[in-house]
């Protein structure tokens, strides 16, 4: 490893679920290092554990063994409050199902992570919504937006605290091909402009070719794709 620690590294990560009295190992010793500004796409068959790995890398799910380092600092040896702060300030998340709050406008949804962190960021939220092509939809509720528009709001929300690492879990999974392609075009453009580190989970092999590196999760371990 270089003198300056990588933004993200996984060291011998295991994740086993205990179901109906049986152990189900999903991650079996994952090792990964992601460079600053790198776009990594994680692929694998349905049920391979891609989302589990993303959640472990993002501090959302505790590994059974091993650790994740964010800028050289342990994520899982940190206190829960410190881990939550890291998720809020250093990481941004985009999910397949958007997870917008239905009673909030597009602008209010984007502002949520900033409010949680105690920041006033309305000007930045408006700027981000403009970047994703939604400057005319600030006051619309999620039900008044298309699926593609909702995902664009989710991307703007993920970027509001200017995180260094962006995680996207099947970001086009609920969208038709044309809409999904447009969303990915926009995501890649925004990530490039802001020089973010990007980790994307996808089952779409065509989409996965757009990253700097494609990794395949197979039998609990990562392989170069």
Beta strands at 213-218 and 22-34: parallel, antiparallel or unpaired: unpaired
Q: Where are the domains of the chain?
A: 8-101+157-224
Q: What is the per-residue pLDDT for 52?
A: 96
Q: What is the pLDDT of residues 129-146, one digit of tens each?
A: 999 999 999 999 999 999
224 Cβ neighbours under 8 A, 6+ residues apart: 213, 214, 215, 216
Q: What is the pLDDT of residues 167-211, one digit of tens each?
A: 999 999 889 989 988 999 999 999 999 899 999 999 888 888 889
Q: What is the per-residue pLDDT for 1?
A: 40
Q: What is the per-residue pLDDT for 38?
A: 95
Sign of CA dihedral 117, 120, 124, 130: positive
Class of domain 8-101+157-224: alpha beta
Contact 131, 196 (CB under 8 A): no
| Positions of the chain with pLDDT lower than 70, given as ranges | 1-3
> How far is it, in rounded angstroms, from Cα 113 to Cα 116?
5
Surface-to-core class of residue 111, CB atoms within 10 Å of its CB (0-12 exposed, 13-18 middle, 19+ buried): buried
- Taking residue 97's Cβ as centre, other Cβ atoms within 10 Å add up to 12
Angle, helices 122-131 vs 147-159, to 10°: value is 130
């Amino acid at each position: 490893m270089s003198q300056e620690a990588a933004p993200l590294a996984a060291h011998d990560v295991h994740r086993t679920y205990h179901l109906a009295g049986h152990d189900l190992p999903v991650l079996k010793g994952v090792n990964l290092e992601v460079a600053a500004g790198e776009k990594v796409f994680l692929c694998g068959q349905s049920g391979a554990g891609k989302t589990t790995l993303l959640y472990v890398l993002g501090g959302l799910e505790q590994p059974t063994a091993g650790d994740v380092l964010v800028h050289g600092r342990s994520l899982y040896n940190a206190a829960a409050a410190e881990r939550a702060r890291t998720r809020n300030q250093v990481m941004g998340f985009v999910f397949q199902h958007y997870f917008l709050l239905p009673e909030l406008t597009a602008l209010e949804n984007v502002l949520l992570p900033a409010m949680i962190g105690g920041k006033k960021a309305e000007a930045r939220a408006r700027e981000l919504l403009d970047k994703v092509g939604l400057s005319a939809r600030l006051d619309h509720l999620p039900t008044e937006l298309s699926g593609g528009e909702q995902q664009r709001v989710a991307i703007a929300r993920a970027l509001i605290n200017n995180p260094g690492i962006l995680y996207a879990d099947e970001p086009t999974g609920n969208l038709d091909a044309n809409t999904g392609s447009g969303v990915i075009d926009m995501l890649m453009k925004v990530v490039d402009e802001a020089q973010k580190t990007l980790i994307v989970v996808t089952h779409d092999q065509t989409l996965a070719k757009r990253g700097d590196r494609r990794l395949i999760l197979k039998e609990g371990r990562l392989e170069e794709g």
